[in-house]
C-alpha cells in the first residue's frame, strides 16, 4: 500500500499499487488540514507513527501556515 496526500480533501488515503483507493488513513476529523507530505514509520520505543506536513495556500487573505503533526497508529 501507498499513503497519498489529498491536499484539498484534507485527508491521507491508502492506495494499492494498481491505483485502487483502499480507504482513508487520516481525515479532517483527525485534525488534518492541507496535507502535503506523509511519512509512516515504526520505532520500537514509540510504535507506529504517521508524520504529516501541512501547508495552507494562504488564499483569500489568510496567512499561510506550515506544521508537522504526528499521529499514532
Q: Output the nine-digit C-alpha cell for 34.
A: 492541507
| pTM of the shown model | 0.79
* pLDDT for the residue 59: 57
The pLDDT tens digits for 3-26 are 999 999 999 999 999 999 999 999
Cβ-contact 18, 12 below 8 angstroms: no
The pLDDT tens digits for 36-52 are 899 888 877 777 888 89
* pLDDT for the residue 63: 65
Q: Output the nine-digit C-alpha cell for 62.
A: 489568510
Integer CA distances (angstroms), 29 to 45, 59, 69, in order: 27, 22, 14
Integer CA distances (angstroms), 43 to 34, 40, 46, 72, in order: 26, 10, 6, 11
Tell me what the mean pLDDT of segment 57-66 comes to: 63
Cβ-contact 72, 66 below 8 angstroms: no
* pLDDT for the residue 15: 95
Amino acid at each position: 500500500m501507498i499513503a497519498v496526500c489529498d491536499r484539498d480533501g484534507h485527508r491521507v488515503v491508502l492506495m494499492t499499487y494498481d491505483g485502487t483507493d483502499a480507504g482513508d488513513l487520516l481525515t479532517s476529523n483527525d485534525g488534518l488540514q492541507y496535507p502535503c507530505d506523509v511519512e509512516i514509520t515504526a520505532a520500537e520505543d514509540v510504535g507506529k507513527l504517521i508524520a504529516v506536513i501541512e501547508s495552507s495556500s494562504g488564499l483569500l487573505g489568510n496567512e499561510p501556515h506550515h506544521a508537522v503533526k504526528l499521529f499514532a497508529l
